Structure 1
Amino acid sequence: MRCPSCQADDTKVVDSRLAEEGGAIRRRRRCSGCSHRFTTFERVDHVPLMVIKSTGCVERFERDKVVAGLGAATKGRDVSDADLEAMATRVEDASRLRGSEVTSSDVGLLVLDELRSVDDVAYLRFASVYKNFNGAGDFHREIELLEKTSRAEQASPAAP
């Protein structure tokens, strides 16, 4: 690390600690040439997450779009902004685990999974748009699937 005061290349780390809730490392450094002390931060440089749309075009993952979709689905429901942010973070993290590219379909399914665990009405609202419902029969089938999934989850013991 180059000294910001004298531009010398020889600097020593004198203290390191976690910063930004573990998302970065704060380092205090001292220049061997002029003894100037300064602080640097080390953070993970994420590779941009790209979304492959159904049309074939590719665009950057936009977390705000996920939050907006979750917000629209949960409008008027008992879901806080903090809950929306946490759900969006889990969707983004799960998407990143799949690699640097993810399909919009996969993102939509991750959003559905989040909503299923939070609010049935919000889940159905999102599913009706995501799955392009055409009538009451589509809602009926999705409710049956939701109930079947809920029963199966309740019947199976939770992993410790």
Structure 2
Amino acid sequence: MKCPYCNQDNTRVVDSRPADDNSSIRRRRLCDACGKRFTTYEKVETIPLIVIKKDQTREQYDRRKVEAGVLRACYKRPIPVSKMNELVDAVETELFSREEKEIDSKVIGEIVMERLKNLDAVAYVRFASVYREFKDVNTFMDELKKILS
């Protein structure tokens, strides 16, 4: 690992521990040449996941889009941010554990909805109303009946 200060490649690890998210390793390093310390993070490299959208275009999976959808659904709900992050982590784990290179956006939406249903009914309905594109009150009521039964 090259030192970001002097560009020498003789650095050593002085401390190593799991990062806050428990999916990466945080390493404190010391440069033998200049004596400065810096931090690096080591994470498992995942297969790039391509999402097939409704219009059949393809784009690389972006965690921020799932986070944004969950955040909008949980807006003004008594749900801690930590629970939202756990939900997004669980969705991501499920997606990558499938070991597929391409996945339909519908599948991602269904996974998010299933997890939101267990977290908060209002957040679930909010997400479903956008995801399923409710056209009228009847389709909305049909979804509510599913939750209530």
**TM-score, structure 1 length as denominator?**
0.68
Alignment of 1:27-46 (within 5 A): 43-46=43-46
Structure 1 position 135, deviation (Å):
1.5
Structure 1 position 43, deviation (Å):
3.8
Q: Are 1:137 and 2:138 matched, yes or no?
A: yes
The answer for unaligned runs of 5 or more in structure 1 is 6-14, 29-39, 149-160
Structure 2 CA distance for aligned equivalents of residues 16 and 76 of structure 1: 40
Alignment of 1:72-151 (within 5 A): 72-98=72-98, 99-148=100-149
Structure 2 CA distance for aligned equivalents of residues 42 and 113 of structure 1: 31
Q: Are 1:67 and 2:48 matched, yes or no?
A: no
2:9 to 4, 28, 35: 4
Of all paired residues, the percent bearing the same amino acid is 32
Contact 1:116 1:123 in 2 (8 A): yes
The answer for unaligned runs of 5 or more in structure 2 is 2-7, 30-39
**Aligned with 1:67: secondary structure?**
helix
Structure 1 CA distance for aligned equivalents of residues 97 and 55 of structure 2: 23
**One-letter amino acid of the structure 2 residue matched with residue 72 of structure 1:** R
Structure 1 CA distance for aligned equivalents of residues 129 and 97 of structure 2: 27
Structure 1 position 19, deviation (Å):
3.5
**Aligned with 2:92: secondary structure?**
helix
**One-letter amino acid of the structure 1 residue matched with residue 126 of structure 2:** R
Paired positions, count: 136
Partner of 1:23: 24
Bigger Rg over Cα: 1
**TM-score, structure 2 length as denominator?**
0.73
Structure 1 position 54, deviation (Å):
1.4
Partner of 2:37: none
**Aligned with 1:51: secondary structure?**
strand
**Aligned with 2:144: secondary structure?**
helix
Structure 2 CA distance for aligned equivalents of residues 80 and 54 of structure 1: 31
Structure 2 CA distance for aligned equivalents of residues 22 and 112 of structure 1: 24
- Kindly tell me: are residues 133 and 58 of structure 1, through their superposed partners in 2, closer, same or farther at Cα, counting changes over 3 Å? same
